[in-house]
Structure formats: C-alpha cells, structure tokens
Amino acid sequence: MELHMLSGSEDRHPIGASDLVTKLKWQLDQDLDHNCTPLGPCGSYDAPFKITCATFGYTVVGKGTTSRLWGEVSREAEVYRVLQRTQGSAVRVFLGAIDMAQIYFLHGAGKICHMLLMGWGGLSVSHMTLDKTIQHASVKEIRSLGICHQDLRPENILWNAELERALIIDFH
C-alpha cells in the first residue's frame, strides 16, 4: 500500500511497465542469483522464470530463451502488441523484452540470454476441468484482432481466478 501511495493514488502503481522492464534488466544484469528463479519445466522454445523487482517487490514471469531460439520466441512480443486490447482479459499482460548482459545456464534449456517479461496469468488448466465457454470467450476475443492460436492445448491456457477468465499463452 505504501508503494501505491508514492504515486499519489491507491489504485495506481508507482512505476510504469517500461520503467519496470528497465529496472528488471538492470537488476538481472547485476545479479542473476537473487530474485530470478526457474519456474517449472522448460518448454520447446523457452524456460519460465519467476522474477521479482527488488526495489518495488513486483513479481513477473520471465520467458527465457537462448540466442538460437530468440528469433522464434521474440515474434511472440509482436503478437502481444497486436493483442494489446486483450491483455489482462484474454491474454496475460506483456511488459517487454530484454537482452541479458549475463548468461543464465539452465539445465535442459541451455544458455538463457533473452527474456520476454509478462504479468502473472494464473495456473495451467492442464490439471483441471475448464468450461469450454469460458475458454471460447478468450479465443473469440483474440480472433477478433486477427490472431488465430495454432496450439490450444491445456498447457497453453491459464485460469485466472481473480478475473474468472481463461488466459491464452504461447503465441509462437
């Protein structure tokens, strides 16, 4: 609450998304051993990380990848830009992309040196039953902006209990 009061309003964050991305890049460039933790299994193209901004305490999801796979993964940033209006309702919030000064070696993924930074979206629906109409609402919202997700497996859908919405992920 005190950090929100710094912005002069209880309902506003004291830092914008681009400043948060800049701060997180600087933090990761200085130290990869604190506030940067692998989060679950690696995917085909990337590895998820839990990243906490030491200054403000915000925790985000980092989608880390290697130089070899960056071309494929970085295209997802373009999709999130197209889906700007659906961020926080049908897809998670995209914050930005960073090129890391240090390499994070992760067994099973390799030399992580690039990341997409995103807000927390929720829990995977891969181990729960999700009403198809809830999933369809998010898919419809995405399609209305011209994006057709090619891999709508449960592993690419999150349930956000706070929003009571399904959020679609992994657009590469």
pLDDT (tens digit per residue) in 123-161: 999 989 989 999 999 999 999 999 999 999 999 999 999
Domain membership flag for residue 77: yes
- Give the range of the structural domain holding residue 85, as residue numbers without chain letter: 15-121
Residue 42 covered by a domain:
yes
The yes-or-no verdict on residue 8 having pLDDT over 60 is no
Report the domain count for the chain. 1
State the CATH number of the domain containing residue 93: 3.30.200.20
* Residue 56 falls inside a structural domain: yes
Indicate whether 168 belongs to any domain.
Answer: no
d(CA 98, CA 101): 9
Q: Do the domain assignments include residue 96?
A: yes
54 within domain boundaries: yes
Exposed (0-12), middle (13-18) or buried (19+): which is 52, by Cβ within 10 Å?
middle
For residue 33, count other CB atoms closer than 10 A to its CB.
Answer: 8
- Considering the domain boundaries, does residue 158 fall inside one? no
Question: Could you tell me the pTM of the whole model?
Answer: 0.89
Cβ partners under 8 Å of residue 83, min gap 6 = 90, 91, 94, 142, 145, 147, 171
For residue 163, being part of any structural domain is answered with no
Helix (H, G, I), strand (E, B) or coil at 160: strand
Distant-in-sequence, close-in-space partners of 3: CB < 8 Å, separation ≥ 6: 13, 14, 56, 57
Strand, helix or coil at 92? Answer: coil
Torsion of CA 126, 38, 16, 26, to 10 degrees: -160
